[in-house]
Structure 1
Amino acid sequence: MMSGAGQWSDLSARLLSGLVLAAAGLGAVWAGGYYFITFVSVVTGLIVWELTRMVLPGDAIRAVLMGLLAGVAGFLAIYFPAGAALPTLLVPALVGYLWLPQHRRLYVPFVIFILLAAFGMMSVRSEFGVVWMFWLVLVVAGTDIAGYFAGRMIGGPKFWPKISPKKTWSGTVAGWIVAMIVGAGMMAVTGAGTWLLLLSVATSFASQLGDIAESAVKRQSGVKDSSALIPGHGGLFDRFDGMLGAAILVLIVMQVTGYPPGPV
């Protein structure tokens, strides 16, 4: 475990850039509709741009074009009928498979993962309303913040050292506890049943798995951060990896059980 001021050396940059990003994201969540869809689509395009740069360093043109394609596909899919949405989301993966000269087995699954997660976030906001989107944001943000501070203050055994050497069991469990607190708060606000506690913890764990999955891509690509877009955080992929994992889980839950319940 790091000691002294070194373990907090990135805190000020993380805090400032995190506040700016949070303000933009929460503003888009509150506005909903076209504004939120546009925000998610832009973030999606930038994340795919970062992913392409990681697997194909030096190929700037291909990275930009794949990012644009992903952003447009994400934007259009939410407006299409259900039968056309999934094929639209798969277009960037198909183009990547045909066009990229290497790392297709790494690239294609992650592009699908990113596009489906974007669709999940849009679906939560459009179908279940602002309150449930805020629940999702709070679970993911709470998990990340709790993991950051608990991991540095408590330390202890690593969760998965070969993939994510900084993630500890103390930070992981702290994230679950905070997620449960968020779920309890939502139960009080919405009258939802105790199932929400379990869903909140599962969503927290899914966000942590999203973080680990992105760490695996970075390790295989030999990079520390997905990009340098956000001071103290790296890139948007670094910042939104947890949200991607959480959104995928919630999208599956929505399809299988209908939860979360309707707009509040």
Structure 2
Amino acid sequence: MSDPGPAPAGRWADLRTRILSAIVMLAVGAVEIWLGGTAFAALVIGLTSVMVWELATMTAPGGRKAPVTIAVTAGAALMLAMVLRSDIAVLFLMVPTLVLILTPRRDRRLSGAYALAIMLAGYGLVELRQTGGDRAILWLVAVVIVSDVLGYFVGRLVGGPKFWPALSPKKTWSGTVAGWIGAALVGLVLVLAVGTSWLIVPVSALVALAGQMGDIAESWVKRRAGVKDASDLIPGHGGVLDRFDALIGAVVFVLLLGLFAPVTRLFGG
């Protein structure tokens, strides 16, 4: 969700719809995280497939069958990667990237790179739920949501200089920094409440930054494609990519961080 900067009162007209949609998504997400296992993996595979469909549709408008085929392929590839859970899984995660690069569309390399980020995020979410449990996945989601919400409201209320106007003209420094602070506070709450490592405070802020970069990356893709929203599937939010763009950036960052020190160690794992 982009930080839209200051706006007149009329721009708050969609707030009720956004909140209602967010409540439904949070309720579904909470149940799936609690269930874990196959139920959570199925949700992630479904969302990943839809996001790949949105990406394929944005970058090659006019076609109907091709984006659906690519989305189904992405879902199947992600499922195989989850079943294998080995080094070869990465090859399956790259399948949608290869398809997007080899089919006619705008910005093939950009589309392919973003498709890989989507697939990595899907795989990483399930892996984090399995290895870190409820606490780790709830921490990640809380960091992204708090950063996103604070960035949205502080950006609208305070405004100020733009963070990266060339790629995301509505995102402000005030909203961006508010997101970092909010994420760090999420980490601090965990330290005080459940005794996690103090390192989770700066790591939470870095995860928020990665989420904001995910938001900007999706804005870049949409600007290149000449569209406002990835789709209109979620009332008040646009598409699934518009809602989960920050989570993509955050999960990819956690995966990269895991190459050096698994994030689950912050929780005693």
Provide the TM-score with structure 1 as the length reference.
0.96
Among residues 64, 89, 97, which one is paired with 2:68 in the alignment? 64
CA shift, 1:100, in A, is: 3.5
Partner of 1:123: 127
Alpha carbons 1:129, 1:263 under 8 Å: kept: no
CA shift, 1:27, in A, is: 1.4
Q: Secondary structure at the match of 2:163?
A: strand
Residue-by-residue CA offset, 1:129-160 (whole Å, 9 max, x unaligned):
01110000000000110011001111111111
| 1: CA distance, partners of 2:7 / 2:74 | 41
| 1: CA distance, partners of 2:85 / 2:245 | 27
The percent of aligned pairs where both chains have the same amino acid is 43
Partner of 1:40: 44
**How many residue pairs get matched?**
264
- Structure 1 residues 77-116: aligned runs within 5 Å: 77-116=81-120
Q: Secondary structure at the match of 2:84?
A: coil
Provide the TM-score with structure 2 as the length reference.
0.94
Among residues 158, 163, 175, which one is paired with 1:159 in the alignment? 163
| 2: CA distance, partners of 1:250 / 1:101 | 30
Q: Could you say which structure has the greater relative contact order, defined with CA pairs below 8 angstroms and 6 or more residues apart?
A: 2
23-32 or 126-135, which moves further after superposition? 23-32
CA shift, 1:83, in A, is: 2.1
Residue-by-residue CA offset, 1:48-88 (whole Å, 9 max, x unaligned):
00001100001111110111111121222112041221111
Distance of aligned partners of 1:101 and 1:61 in 2 relative to their CA distance in 1, 3 Å threshold: same
| 2: CA distance, partners of 1:57 / 1:222 | 10
Matched, 1:219 2:223: yes
| 2: CA distance, partners of 1:188 / 1:147 | 24
| 1: CA distance, partners of 2:85 / 2:34 | 25
Partner of 2:200: 196
Q: Give, as a single letter, the amino acid of the residue that structure 2 aligns with 1:222.
A: G
RMSD of the TM alignment (CA)? 1.5
Matched, 1:132 2:136: yes
Q: Give, as a single letter, the amino acid of the residue that structure 2 aligns with 1:188.
A: L
Gaps of 5+ in 1: none
| 2: CA distance, partners of 1:263 / 1:97 | 41
| 1: CA distance, partners of 2:214 / 2:70 | 21
After the TM superposition, which segments of 4 or more aligned residues of structure 1 sit over 6 Å from their partners?
none
Gaps of 5+ in 2: none
